[in-house]
Amino acid sequence: MADTLPSEFDVIVIGTGLPESIIAAACSRSGRRVLHVDSRSYYGGNWASFSFSGLLSWLKEHQENSDIENDSPVWQDQILENEEAIALSRKDKTIQHVEVFCYASQDLHEDVEEAGALQKNHALVTSANSTEAADSSFLPMEDESLSTMNCEMLTEQTPSSDPENALEVNGAEVTGEKENHCDDKTCVPSTSAKDVSENVPIAEDTTEQPKKNRITYSQIIKEGRRFNIDLVSKLLYSRGLLIDLLIKSNVSRYAEFKNITRILAFREGRVEQVPCSRADVFNSKQLTMVEKRMLMKFLTFCMEYEKYPDEYKGYEDITFYEYLKTQKLTPNLQYIVLHSIAMTSETASSTIDGLKATRNFLHCLGRYGNTPFLFPLYGQGELPQCFCRMCAVFGGIYCLRHSVQCLVVDKESRKCKAIIDQFGQRIISEHFLVEDSYFSENMCSRVQYRQISRAVLITDRSVLKTDSDQQISILTVPAEEPGMFAVRVIELCSSTMTCMKGTYLVHLTCTSSKTAREDLEPVVQKLFIPYTEMEIENEQVEKPRILWALYFNMRDSSDISRSCYKDLPSNVYVCSGPDCGLGNDNAVKQAETLFQEICPSEDFCPPPPNPEDIVLDGDGLQPEASESSAIPEANSETFKESTNLGNLEESSE
pLDDT digits (tens, 9 = 90+) for 262-292: 999 998 888 998 887 777 787 788 888 998 8
Relative orientation angle of helices 241-249 and 585-598, to the nearest 10 degrees:
50
Q: Which pLDDT does position 180 carry in this prediction?
A: 42
> For the residues 487-493, what does the mean pLDDT come to?
96
> CA triplet 398, 404, 406: central angle to 5 degrees?
145
DSSP state of 105: B
Domain 238-252+272-375 sits in CATH at 1.10.405.10
pLDDT digits (tens, 9 = 90+) for 446-460: 899 999 999 999 999
Q: Which pLDDT does position 106 carry in this prediction?
A: 73
**73-77, 446-450, 541-545, 550-554 — which one is most confidently predicted on average?**
550-554
Domain boundaries, the chain: 8-93+378-448+558-598, 238-252+272-375
Amino acid at 58: W
Q: Which pLDDT does position 617 carry in this prediction?
A: 54
pLDDT > 90: what percent of the chain?
A: 51
More confident residue, 576 or 173: 576
More confident residue, 569 or 170: 569
More confident residue, 539 or 359: 359
Average per-residue pLDDT in the chain? 79
In the predicted structure, residue 195 carries a pLDDT above the cut 60: no
Domain 8-93+378-448+558-598 sits in CATH at 3.50.50.60
Q: Which pTM was predicted?
A: 0.80
Q: Which pLDDT does position 109 carry in this prediction?
A: 54
Give the Cα separation of 469 and 126 in Å (integer).
31
More confident residue, 211 or 332: 332
Give the Cα separation of 203 and 234 in Å (integer).
30
8-93+378-448+558-598 and 238-252+272-375 share one fold: no
Q: Which pLDDT does position 531 carry in this prediction?
A: 82
More confident residue, 17 or 89: 17
DSSP state of 461: S
Give the Cα separation of 136 and 132 in Å (integer).
12
Q: Which pLDDT does position 96 carry in this prediction?
A: 92
Relative orientation angle of helices 18-29 and 382-393, to the nearest 10 degrees:
20
